[in-house]
Amino acid sequence: MHKIAIALILALPLAFAADEPGFAPLFDGKTLNGWKLVGGRGPGYLAQDGKIVCPADGGGNLFTEKEFANFALRFEFKLTPGANNGIGIRAPYEGDAAYQGMEIQVLDDGDQVYQGKIRPEQYHGSVYDVIPARTGYRKPVGEWNEEEIVADGRRIKVTLNGVIILDANLDIVKEAKVLARHPGLARPSGHIGFLGHGTLVEFRNVRVKVLP
């Protein structure tokens, strides 16, 4: 049974992609082939039991080798208490992906460590430091969540567990200071990545659909 269970887990990314026309797996469930670690800490990221794992003593930025412009990214994630990660989109390898590209926040924002210390645009699902997401739709810590990020031209949409928590046109950002701090808002394409901050977060069933 144990071997059968492992085989089923490893087959999940391919099964998801097959059921979703146009989507292709970004993670083969076994290796980090097709990914590049930039600024890694400790062990960086691990391919483990069908998951991409950012261990508590690891992290850094794990980017796709390919670049993407317009796309829909689907994945599942599981947090631990106080966990902090992010999804880099349209990001370059160089510099801080949250500013030189964009970061969609992945955060256990309900943990007491963040209470009274973060701004609305730093909560889970937000375009980090720029556009806040709706809150209250993430499952309890330790449970798997499903998320979709759509980048389509200037439109960014984030759906968490079937609920749209952010749907915004980047052109609504008019503040000169914000635009100067976030040149990545103008980038038309770049890498997709996991932006780890030394806390345990797990990802699985990572797949993408390229949009015209």
CATH of the domain at 102: 2.60.120.560
Average pLDDT over residues 61-88: 98
Domain ranges, residue 63: 2-210
Per DSSP, 184 falls in state: G
Q: Which residues pair with 144 in a beta bridge?
A: none
- Cβ partners under 8 Å of residue 196, min gap 6: 41, 45, 54, 58, 59, 60, 61, 62, 85
Among 95, 136, 137, 103, which residue's Cα sits nearest to residue 121?
Answer: 103
C-alpha triplet 192, 130, 74: angle, nearest 5° = 30
At residue 16, the pLDDT reads 53
Share of the chain above pLDDT 90, in %: 91
Per DSSP, 92 falls in state: -
Express each pLDDT in 107-145 by its tens digit: 999 999 999 999 999 999 999 999 999 999 999 999 999
What pTM does this model have?
A: 0.91
| Average pLDDT of the chain to the nearest whole number | 93
Domain count, the chain: 1
CA 106 to chain centre: 7
24 near 208, Cβ under 8 Å?
yes
Backbone CA torsion sign across 108, 167, 36, 100: negative
